[in-house]
Chain A
C-alpha cells in the first residue's frame, strides 16, 4: 500500500459526459501528479501540482483540468469525453520534485 488513494476504482460513462477523479496523497506529500496510461500511448504525464499551485504541465488536453485543494487532495476533471479517453488514470505523490513518486492504484475509465 503506497498510501495514495484514488476514487473511484472504476468509472463507466458515455461520450460527451464529464467525470471527476479524486486523489488523496500520502500524508506529508505536497506534490501530486496525474498520469494517463493506455495501451497505445503508454504512461503519459498530464499535470503536477505542488502545495496547491500548478507546477508542471505535460500532455494534458484542454478538455481536462485539475486542481489541488488546501488539504492537498487533488481532482482531475475530464469533460466532453471521447472513446479515446478510455484509460487508466494514475495519481502519484511525492515530498518534493526530486524524490520518488508513490502511485495510487489508479482509476480505470471506460467511455462507451
Chain B
C-alpha cells in the first residue's frame, strides 16, 4: 500500500542555520509530491509541488525540495531559517491505484527555531 513517512517528528534549528526535512514515500511509480506548511492555529498552505520534469523544485518563502527517485524521497530544504518558519510541515503524495487517485499526508514534522 502507498505510504508517506516523515521520520522526524520534531526538529530544532537555530535561526540562520540550514534546514532539511525528510520525506519518503512508498509507491510503485512516481507520485505527485507536495509540501505544505501549517502555522499554529491556521490551515495548511502549499509550499511547493512536483509533478514531473526538473527534480529540484523551488517554492515559496525560500524553500526548495529535491525529488530523488532512487531513494523515493522528496526532502524539503531551506538554506537559512528565519524565526517565522517555526511551524509544522507536511509532506503529501498523490498516487493512482486501480484508477482511483489517492492523496496521502505524512504525519508532519514540527520545526522549532531558536533565536
Which residues of A approach B to under 8 Å, CB–CB?
2, 4, 33, 42-43, 45, 48, 56, 90, 92, 97-98, 100-106
**Are A98 and B45 also in contact (CB < 8 A) when A45-B103, A45-B105 are?**
no
Q: Is the CB of A43 within 8 A of B45?
A: no
- A41 and chain B: residue at smallest CB distance: B107
Interface centre among B43, B45, B105 (most CB of A within 10 A): B43
* 10 pairs from A and B in contact (CB 8 Å cutoff): A2-B45, A4-B43, A43-B107, A45-B103, A56-B100, A90-B43, A92-B44, A98-B94, A100-B46, A101-B103
Interface SS of chain B: strand
Whole-angstrom CA separation of A103 from B36 in the bound complex = 10
Cβ–Cβ < 8 Å partners of A43 in chain B: 44, 90, 105, 107-108
Chain B contributes a number of interface residues (CB within 8 A of A) equal to 20
Instruction: List the interface of chain B (C-beta within 8 A of A).
Output: 32, 34, 36, 42-46, 49, 51, 90, 94, 100-105, 107-108
What's the nearest-Cβ distance from chain B to residue A91, in Å? 9
